[in-house]
Amino acid sequence: MNIHRPHRLRRLFALLFATALVAAACGSDGDSGATATSECGTDTSVAMGDSVTDLTFALVAPSAKDDLAFTQSMVDSLTRLGIEPQITDGTFIVEEAAAAIRGYAEEGVDVVIAHGTQYGGSLAEIAPDFPDTSFIWGTATDTQGLDNVFAYYPEADQGGYVNGWIAAEMTDGAAMGVVGPVEAGDAVAYVNGFIAGATANGAPAPSVVYTGSFSDVALATETAQAHVDNGAQVLTGTSQSTVGAVNVAAANDIPWFGTQSNQEAWSTDLVVASQVYHWDVVLDDMIESIEGGTLGGEAMAITLQNGGLVIEINGCYGLDDSVVDGAEGIIAEIIDGTIDPT
């Protein structure tokens, strides 16, 4: 049976739950939904929440479901909403993904999440064939005019800005290196936000390399090494290929800023802060629409404002309280619009 709760109430419930969860994990009270400082040694894995819906879900994603990056951010978000989707992951070959998306729709799954910008073309072909199925696609800033497709994207420049600002606090004018994947989508937003935040806080412009691949670990590794050789004192990067870069940071004792997922698990001592994507905020709105009979037609962003972006500061790193306070100030200014991170 489908219990239909009023809109506001359910959102509040979800937010409360998420806050409770974060609070439980951190022990320190989060001042807003937008920062969280974990206590050192806590498990950063996400626990299954209470189910918010009876809809059935499937997820098709390009990298592994526990990549500590892009795909995991979606899996964790669904977990928080108490949803256990059927998963086809690692489908970086678009044709394979398309087959999986169509397969789930044919099976009668209510909501199919196509978690990859590159799946847009396939979706434009598939979605019209299944008007009763809702497709959720991201990261994308529009729905390609399809009314059974929801799109989602992060305003990743916000977290990038915060990370960049913190990094500038720590480096005192030294060089910083950014390991970018392909020059597109939220990667560019994050990188540009990082540069803006760092330079706004008086640091020289960080050096940026786009490797040309989301998945080439060797390239990311060598890029990080290049930054280190150039004297970088802080490294950051985005995409699943950055596992290699984190290793280089670890080998050289250089702090790392993460994005997409909480990357503390890679290296507890080095990850200063991570911008974490909480897709659950927009997913929740979408679920509500779907249950109300609207299967798509809107693009939704996660932001610091709506709590979809959370800056998780690693308690083990031991960032000065003053810096943490400063970061929180920056976040507040982004939320209230005083700072435009782009």
Partner 1 sequence: MSDFFTLTVLVGTLASGIRTAMPYLLAALGETVGQRSGVLNLGVDGVMLLGAFGGYYTVLQTENHWLGVLVGLAIGLGMGLVYALVTIVFHAEQGISGIGIFLFGLGFSDLLFQELVGTPRPIKPLPKVEIPLLADIPHLGPAFFQHNLLTYVAFALVPLTTWMLMKTTFGMNVRAVGENPQAADSLGVSVAQTRMGAILFGNTMAGLAGAGLSLQLAIFQHNLTNGLGFIAVALVYFGAWRPRWVLAGALLYGMVTATRLRWQSLDIIPRGASDVAAMAPAIITILALVLLASRVRGPAALTKPFSRH
Residues of the shown chain interacting with partner 1 in the complex, contacts defined by CB under 8 A: 63-68, 72, 90, 92, 177, 180, 182-183, 207-213, 215-219, 221-223, 225-227, 229-230, 240-241, 243-244, 246-247, 250-251, 265-267
Q: Are 118 and 268 in contact (CB under 8 A)?
A: no
**How crowded is the C-beta side of 77, counted as CA atoms within 13 Å?**
27
Smallest distance, partner 1 to C-beta of residue 223, A = 5
Smallest distance, partner 1 to C-beta of residue 53, A = 27
> How many helices and strands, by DSSP H and E, does the chain display?
10, 13
One-letter amino acid at 49 equals: G
Give the residue with the Cβ less far from partner 1, 67 or 291: 67
Smallest distance, partner 1 to C-beta of residue 189, A = 14
Smallest distance, partner 1 to C-beta of residue 103, A = 17
Cβ neighbors of 129 (< 8 A, separation 6 or more) are 102, 105
Give the residue with the Cβ less far from partner 1, 10 or 115: 115
Smallest distance, partner 1 to C-beta of residue 125, A = 24
Cβ neighbors of 3 (< 8 A, separation 6 or more) are none
Sheet holding 271-277, edge to edge: 35-37, 309-313, 271-277, 256-260, 232-237, 175-180, 207-210
Give the residue with the Cβ less far from partner 1, 29 or 43: 43
Cβ neighbors of 244 (< 8 A, separation 6 or more) are 217, 218, 219, 220, 221, 224
Give the residue with the Cβ less far from partner 1, 239 or 303: 239
Ramachandran category for residue 141: left, alpha or beta (phi over 0 → left; psi -120 to 50 → alpha): alpha
Smallest distance, partner 1 to C-beta of residue 188, A = 9
Give the residue with the Cβ less far from partner 1, 114 or 245: 245
Give the residue with the Cβ less far from partner 1, 174 or 250: 250
Smallest distance, partner 1 to C-beta of residue 81, A = 21
Q: Are 281 and 261 in contact (CB under 8 A)?
A: no
Give the residue with the Cβ less far from partner 1, 32 or 225: 225
Q: Are 149 and 299 in contact (CB under 8 A)?
A: no
Give the residue with the Cβ less far from partner 1, 37 or 240: 240
Q: What's the DSSP call for residue 205?
A: P
Q: 153, 155, 220, 207: which is closest to 181 by C-alpha?
A: 220
Q: How far apart are CA 64 and CA 83, in angstroms?
A: 18
Give the residue with the Cβ less far from partner 1, 99 or 217: 217
Smallest distance, partner 1 to C-beta of residue 132, A = 32
Smallest distance, partner 1 to C-beta of residue 248, A = 9
The radius of gyration of the chain's CA atoms, rounded to the nearest angstrom, is 19
Q: How far apart are CA 179 and CA 68, in angstroms?
A: 16
Q: Are 309 and 315 in contact (CB under 8 A)?
A: no
